Structure 1
């Protein structure tokens, strides 16, 4: 093929990549679906969705798993056991990431600074028990389930590690490590949010403000590939969610009180702010044409409003 044709093709491809705005999903009509009780420790931390659009939420300091129905009513599904003497980087025991299996089983991360630290399973009939036994100094934060291969992945904010654990339970394996996942001397929270998407484990690093992609290798080992940095400048990013089958992400920037749309090329823009009702947003989920955003109000000392916000998501036509 002539070089001029190749050059023209490359230029056109570059032009198409550099003009993302026409294809950006739009987020609109935000509203608060449910308010929670900050004084009772109901800081809305992480979220998983039911098929009908109900939201399963972890309340961090209340040590609870709750379900918010489509009508906004909140039901407590389980309370993690109290752990005397629990000490974690955020104070006491805290419930963090949540993931849902197709049969309705819920998995949650629990950080205690004690032997109860790890992954707990909540069965559809209400049975709650620990299945993953992590190091006591771990801080298991983001959680995702690859149901096809029966593996749970956890982002450890303290140890800068992505752990893998079979759904049958046991001790986890350090699946991915390295500087890109670690905290910094200035901020002790590294790997935070985590999702399994398009043959890779995606992880946010709060301390470094980055969104990372780690390819999953082939069977039988499914080893971690090299860590790829897909976006930077996401100051204190917490959890995130994909808007669809592509690599566009909605990310919660907890301290900035912003929901950020991150394009596949790494550029990003703000789509929701505190004026829309965000109060230290921690996690995001997308279902059909709705966006769900948890706010934990962790840093709001004047008028904390932990809540669940809903908004519409649609896609512009190119």
Structure 2
């Protein structure tokens, strides 16, 4: 499979790109203060946090991409405590546990990208502690990455980084598996020859599915039509080199985007302008994902591109809220 070569290609290509200058200041920008690392992880053991979902008590469920597991880390940094480990595949070095979401009843849904027929897709981890089970099949050639759950209609959406598309699937009530359905396609979602990692992070927000595209450095909005089909793809921000996952700061369309290869957290305004709010000096080391709960900001770093002294970690900070 392809995870490591693709990430290396992203790093090599984006290193040559110039960094976009910060956009104009805004009186309503949220502020990010008091960044501090609460937990460090073991890079050699595959403890590379790829994605994050928050529990009601403020603890975080993290996917460890190369350890092929989900862990729980307390808001104070306690842990990590193992939640579930995924089955071993033919080539475990090429598999990755990626996106994660938590339903209100405590059920976790997780993407496992393996390139194999029996494992590639979306998995469910029930709160009772039973073993993870695949519930949505994604084609072997697909790389399910960002993941979101629309609980109003029990629908899962997954970004496919290798094929540049968005899949959807109903949440099965029982233990049966369902096939992923192609929900959105278009050139805006595709990877490029230079950067073979397209659609990446994914969130449901403001009546739409929002997707980041690593290859193009863009943040996209895809309206959800009344019949639940995908509307025209809108480009909402550009110049986000190395963008991975992202999160919204509140009810409006201001977002915080992890620029993996740039070691930056970027604040993206509703008009598409953006500025850097955290850097490597604050503790970022290849940031992969972002979450916001009340006045607390969570940022994972996986240190994928640090060949000298990798420091995968979980960073917390304080964030003000705006109303846009």
- Cα 1:316–1:155 change in 2 (3 A) is closer
For 2:321 and 2:54, locate their aligned partners in 1 and report how far apart those are by CA, in whole Å.
21
User: Is 1:164 equivalent to 2:172 in the alignment?
Assistant: no
User: Is 1:310 equivalent to 2:313 in the alignment?
Assistant: no
For 1:45 and 1:19, locate their aligned partners in 2 and report how far apart those are by CA, in whole Å.
31
Q: What is the aligned counterpart of 1:126 among 111, 129, 137?
A: 129
The gaps in structure 2 that reach 5 residues or longer are 1-22
- Cα 1:265–1:106 change in 2 (3 A) is same
CA deviation after TM superposition for structure 1 residue 317, in Å? 10
- TM-score calculated relative to the size of structure 2: 0.89
Q: What is the aligned counterpart of 1:112 among 111, 114, 126?
A: 114
Match runs of 1:74-85 below 5 Å: 74-85=80-91
- TM-score calculated relative to the size of structure 1: 0.91
What residue is the counterpart of 1:22 in the other structure? 27
Q: What is the aligned counterpart of 2:253 among 244, 247, 255?
A: 247
Q: What is the aligned counterpart of 1:216 among 205, 214, 224?
A: 224
Match runs of 1:223-262 below 5 Å: 223-262=229-268
What residue is the counterpart of 1:3 in the other structure? none
CA deviation after TM superposition for structure 1 residue 198, in Å? 1.1
What residue is the counterpart of 1:60 in the other structure? 65
The gaps in structure 1 that reach 5 residues or longer are 1-17
The answer to whether the 8 Å contact 2:295/2:321 transfers is: no
What residue is the counterpart of 2:205 in the other structure? 197
What residue is the counterpart of 2:95 in the other structure? 93
- Cα 1:84–1:316 change in 2 (3 A) is closer
The answer to whether the 8 Å contact 1:243/1:249 transfers is: yes
* SS state at 1:21 partner: coil
* SS state at 1:23 partner: coil
User: Is 1:183 equivalent to 2:185 in the alignment?
Assistant: no
* SS state at 2:27 partner: helix
For 1:117 and 1:154, locate their aligned partners in 2 and report how far apart those are by CA, in whole Å.
12
What residue is the counterpart of 2:51 in the other structure? 46
User: Is 1:150 equivalent to 2:145 in the alignment?
Assistant: no
For 1:171 and 1:163, locate their aligned partners in 2 and report how far apart those are by CA, in whole Å.
10
CA deviation after TM superposition for structure 1 residue 236, in Å? 1.3
For 1:317 and 1:112, locate their aligned partners in 2 and report how far apart those are by CA, in whole Å.
40
CA deviation after TM superposition for structure 1 residue 137, in Å? 1.1
CA deviation after TM superposition for structure 1 residue 85, in Å? 3.1
For 1:164 and 1:150, locate their aligned partners in 2 and report how far apart those are by CA, in whole Å.
10
What residue is the counterpart of 1:282 in the other structure? 288
CA deviation after TM superposition for structure 1 residue 316, in Å? 7.2
Aligned residue pairs total 295
* CA RMSD across the alignment: 1.5
TM superposition outliers: structure 1 runs of 4+ over 3 Å: 315-318
CA deviation after TM superposition for structure 1 residue 230, in Å? 0.1
Q: Deviations over 1:154-198 (max 9, x none)?
A: 000001010001111500111000100000011000000000001
For 1:19 and 1:282, locate their aligned partners in 2 and report how far apart those are by CA, in whole Å.
25
User: Is 1:137 equivalent to 2:137 in the alignment?
Assistant: no
User: Is 1:36 equivalent to 2:38 in the alignment?
Assistant: no
Higher CA-based Rg: 1
CA deviation after TM superposition for structure 1 residue 70, in Å? 2.1
The answer to whether the 8 Å contact 1:240/1:249 transfers is: yes
